[in-house]
Amino acid sequence: MPPALISAFGHLKAAAATVNAANGVLEPQLARAIEQAASEVADLTLIDHFPLSIWQTGSGTQTNMNTNEVISNRANEILGEKERGTKKPVHPNDHVNRSGSSNDGTATAMHIAAVREVEGRLVPSLERLWKAMVRKSEEFEKLGLIKVGRTHLQDAVPLSLGQEFSGFAAQLELGMERVLQSLEGLRYLAMGGTAVGTGLNVFKGFDVQFCEEVSRRTGSKFVVAKNKFEAISANDAIVYASGALNTLAASLFKIAQDIRFEGSGPRCGLGELLLPENEPGSSYMPGKVNPTQCESLTMICARVVANHTGITVGGLSGQFQLNAFKPLLISSFLHSVRLLSDGMNAFRQNCLEGLRADEKRIKELMDNNLMLVTCLSGTLGYDMAGRVAKHAHKEGLTLRAAAIELKALSGQEFDRIVRPETMLAPADKQTMQVQT
């Protein structure tokens, strides 16, 4: 099982012991030993004692009991017991599992782990990548590079390289917003609902105090689930948060793929971007440089999409009072968080920050862009502008030469109208041609 989930179980058991002792339902001496042992689970000191695989019962009961047994044995050691497995004075069920069940416990540990990993790993990585993309957009904008736009993989009207990268930055910013929004649903904890959500064998107020104690221990905000029946029988918050990761993966795939294509070449591709030469690209072709970071990130994104498919199936597969796909759900979610976090860090450090523009190549392609004819539509009309573009392509002429040859415009008129730098934003009304 993922270490982040084991750590979350440690925080859960420590918090439960603290609250139980404070309310007189657990002896203080036992509670202190449980808290110490559970803290060692939380900081992963005892991780070697958690050998169980993901593929177990759908409620996560085996891992919950694994946690109870490890904490019980360690607590008994702390209290002076030399032989493991005695279950005295600290019993794994009666004391460590007090005020909880595998059903509400696993659901709670899932949310604790998810919030801590998203806040501690994903959000910082995403924020660093977003800021690096903003800086790269600003860097390219200062260069004043105007490039060929492309739609349907065909030449289109121009835009600046800085504008293109500002679109990438906006994708990442929106991704951040979606991830942060999805975090709010993960802050609701099921603990206190026990087996089915009724709270059998739990004293009133345990749930509120538990969330306060977990928040104190972890430094992350947690609150009581609005409805514990929902929180145990369904795992919609995990499915929703995975949807945010899935959307982020789609954005990252598009960004990496665009950079990969625009860096294709160096002589026989688009060649507008110069990718960092991190390592030899081929074991056979000397001097070849491959877009390794782009390919790595796109493969990561594909895996995140696959994980989301599994999470979706897991989310819809609960029956009655329990979703019994919890290990699949949380392991897939935490895997996606780790993959995206590491992938974004590597892409930023090894590709984006060293990315450069080939100004000569960008200008060469821009000069040959037939879709500059679009700015002539207001003067010549759509049909004549189309004739100019097709004539230029068929005869191998520049747009200017084609317009003159078809007597559509003089050279002077063409130069006055066709200026790429004026095509990067909406025009003032006063400069617009009136269509007749």
Determine the Cα–Cα distance for residues 414 and 392; give it in Å rounded to an integer. 14
Q: Residue 287: exposed, middle, or buried by beta-carbon count in 10 A (0-12, 13-18, 19+)?
A: exposed
Greater model confidence, 280 or 38: 38
The pLDDT tens digits of the residues spanning 260-312 come to 999 999 999 999 999 999 887 888 999 898 999 999 999 999 999 999 999 99
For residues 354 and 276, is the Cβ–Cβ distance under 8 A?
A: yes
Q: Residue 434 pLDDT > 70, yes or no? A: no
Instruction: At 69, give phi and psi (nearest 5°).
Output: -65, -45
The pLDDT tens digits of the residues spanning 177-206 come to 999 999 999 999 999 999 999 999 999 999
Q: Residue 429 pLDDT > 80, yes or no? A: no
Q: Residue 87 pLDDT > 90, yes or no? A: no
Determine the Cα–Cα distance for residues 207 and 12; give it in Å rounded to an integer. 12
The size of the chain, in residues, is 436
pTM: 0.95
Tokens standing for 334? 């935490």
CATH of the domain spanning 3-79, picked from 3.30.70.20, 1.10.3720.10, 1.10.287.610, 1.10.275.10: 1.10.275.10
> Which entry of 99, 111, 152, 377 is annotated as an active-site residue?
152
Q: Was domain 102-360 assigned CATH 1.20.200.10? A: yes
For residues 227 and 276, is the Cβ–Cβ distance under 8 A?
A: no
Average pLDDT over the chain, rounded to an integer:
96
> For residue 32, which amino acid is it?
R
For residue 137, how many other CB atoms are within 10 A of its CB? 21
3-state class (DSSP) for residue 334: helix
Same fold, 3-79 and 102-360: no
Rounded to the nearest 10 degrees, how much is the dihedral formed by the CA atoms of 411, 416, 418, 422?
170
Give the per-residue pLDDT at 252: 98
Determine the Cα–Cα distance for residues 307 and 340; give it in Å rounded to an integer. 12
Give the per-residue pLDDT at 282: 85
Q: Taking the mean position of all CA atoms in its chain, how far away is CA 17?
A: 34
Give the per-residue pLDDT at 103: 98
Give the per-residue pLDDT at 432: 64
For residues 163 and 384, is the Cβ–Cβ distance under 8 A?
A: no
For residue 323, how many other CB atoms are within 10 A of its CB? 26
Domain edges within the chain:
3-79, 102-360, 369-432
> Which entry of 53, 282, 393, 410 is annotated as an active-site residue?
282
For residues 233 and 322, is the Cβ–Cβ distance under 8 A?
A: yes
Return the minimum-mean-pLDDT range out of 60-69, 100-109, 243-252, 360-369: 360-369
Domain 369-432: homologous superfamily in CATH: Fumarase/aspartase (C-terminal domain) (1.10.40.30)
Q: Is 95 part of the annotated catalytic residue set?
A: no
Q: Is 282 part of the annotated catalytic residue set?
A: yes
Give the per-residue pLDDT at 197: 98
Give the per-residue pLDDT at 245: 98
For residues 275 and 300, is the Cβ–Cβ distance under 8 A?
A: no
Query: 264: Cβ–Cβ under 8 A, 6 or more apart, which residues?
Result: 270, 271, 291
Place of tokens 């604790």: 112
Share of the chain above pLDDT 70, in %: 98
Q: Residue 433 pLDDT > 70, yes or no? A: no
The pLDDT tens digits of the residues spanning 321-330 come to 999 999 999 9
